[in-house]
Structure 1
Amino acid sequence: MQGSNHAETNEELYNRAKKLFVERGYEEVTMKELAKEVGWSEKQLVRRFGSKGDFVIELMMEGFSLEEEENDPDVRSLNTNKAVADIVYDYIMKRLNRYLIFGKKLFKEMMTWSLSLAKKNPEMMNKFVQMDFMFVDDLITFLDGLKENGVLETEFDSVQAGEIVYSVLAFEFLVYIYQSDHTKDQLHEGIQKKLHFIFT
């Protein structure tokens, strides 16, 4: 597989690389194949990003911003006959599932990589942390939208709920990453159960 021409922007790199990872899986794709897909030489790709993990993480951060802008939900179009926990679950998983394609190995690399990132590249570390803040802010905005549309009570504290939901996701991801036999289905189930506890 080869890109038809040289990818000039991070958005182009992200879209082409994501396509390859979806088709093959993170662990199966080599830097040589990535370079070929985006129309770069392997040497250029290594010089620009370093490792495959660094490449994916940086482009994940780029893609997060791009896709959050493209997928801003219209609360008015939601099926409000569903339980609130299920509405929130659908909102969250629509965003998280696009990253689960990379598999456990990448997320383990990310955990190790982030420990040294503050010294190695503080600017990227700041961008990395901002992804979490952006996610929480977007979730709070989503919950406020549910309040405005009568799905949640007006006195519902969207900020506290958003931060608690983030804590749930962090815990469930740690279990998923570090327990080798923990499946994506179990990850989904764990998130869903805790959301029902929070919103019931």
Structure 2
Amino acid sequence: MGLASNKNDNERQKIFAAALELFSAKGYEDTTIQQIANKAETTEKKVHIHFESKADLFIELMATEFKLDQDPIEVIFQEIDVNKAASEIVYRYIYNRLKHFRFFGKKIMREIFSVSLHLIKSKPNMMKKFIDLDFLFVDDLITFLNELKAKGVLPEGYDSNQAAETVYSTLAFEFLLYVYEEEHTEEQLLQGIKNKVHFIFT
């Protein structure tokens, strides 16, 4: 039983690694399950044992990558200079959390939006899993801001919940601008986020 479980886990991880490489290089639409299977040195049938569809694999991959990107709060604060301005500390936290998503680039991020819209009707449970990533980000940011309050970086009465929700709205706006404005660069994306974070925390 244990050996079978380990084999399934290893196969799943190989599929994940292959899918991440192909989605990043080719985009969602131009990547097929057969290509993923070939890259993972398995069969299309076995990919479908783990994932019902390409959309399921894509969303599962995004969820996993997002969660793996977050270190424990104690580890995060080992690398933070609490003597810096709150806006700079929060921006650096956001920058580190979003590095995997920035890596995908405009094309695949458009496809993320497209897939998510398709899932609203076809697979609401899968869409909920996708939306839960946003709630996870907001919850993690609230925890981070509360820790900044405990360390005296933010005032004791600072409303971490409202600030985290405002930051999330800012990110949604900036990423939409980046994804759908062809000439909008990653540098402009990051500067837009930085400017608004400075406004929120100053």
1:185 aligns with 2:201: no
CA apart distance, 1:93: 1.1
Contact kept, 8 Å, 2:178 with 2:185, in 1: the verdict is yes
**In structure 2, which of residues 15, 33, 58 is the aligned counterpart of residue 56 of structure 1?**
58
Q: Distance in 2 between matches of 1:46 and 1:105?
A: 25
Q: Describe the shift of the 1:96–1:173 C-alpha distance in structure 2 as closer, same or farther (beyond 3 A).
A: same
What's the counterpart of residue 4 of structure 2?
Answer: none
- Who is 1:105 aligned against? 107
Classify the secondary structure of the residue corresponding to 1:114: helix
Q: What does residue 194 of structure 1 align with?
A: 196
Distance 1:157 1:9 in 2: 45
Counterpart AA for 2:53: G
Summarize the alignment of residues 1-200 of structure 1 with structure 2, pairs less than 5 Å apart.
8=10, 10-11=12-13, 13-18=15-20, 20=21, 25-27=25-27, 30-31=31-32, 32-42=34-44, 44-45=46-47, 48-51=51-54, 54-68=56-70, 71-74=71-74, 76-77=77-78, 78-200=80-202
Extract unaligned runs of 5+ from structure 1. Answer: none
* Secondary structure of 1:80 counterpart: coil
**Structure 1 residues 64 and 76, CA gap change in structure 2 (3 angstroms):** closer
Alpha-carbon spacing, 1:113–1:42, altered in 2? closer, same or farther (3 Å): same
The offset of 1:180, in angstroms, is 0.6
Identity rate of aligned residues, in percent?
Answer: 42
- Give the stretch that moved more between structures: 26-35 or 155-164: 26-35
The worse-fitting range, judged by mean Cα deviation, of 86-95 and 114-123 is 114-123
2:22–2:31 CA contact under 8 A, matched in 1? no
Rounded Cα–Cα distance in structure 1 between residues aligned with 2:183 and 2:153: 37
| Structure 1 position 195, deviation (Å) | 0.6
- Following TM superposition, where does structure 1 have runs of at least 4 consecutive aligned residues deviating by more than 6 angstroms? none
Q: Quick one: distance in 1 between partners of 2:106 and 2:56?
A: 15
- The Cα offsets for residues 11-65 of structure 1, whole Å up to 9 and x where unpaired, read as 55434543x259x6343974344323323224544683534x6532321112323
RMSD after superposition: 2.6
In structure 1, give the amino acid aligned to 2:200: I
TM-score (norm 1): 0.82
Are the aligned partners of 2:138 and 2:164 in contact in 1 as well (CA < 8 Å)?
A: yes
Moved more, 176-185 or 109-118: 109-118
**Alpha carbons 2:15, 2:47 under 8 Å: kept:** no
**Aligned mates of 1:103, 1:59 — CA distance in 2:** 16
**Separation (CA, whole Å) in 2 of partners of 1:104 and 1:76:** 31
Inter-partner Cα distance in structure 2 for 1:108 and 1:9: 29
Deviations 1:120-168 (A, max 9, x none): 1111111011110010000000000000011111011100000000000
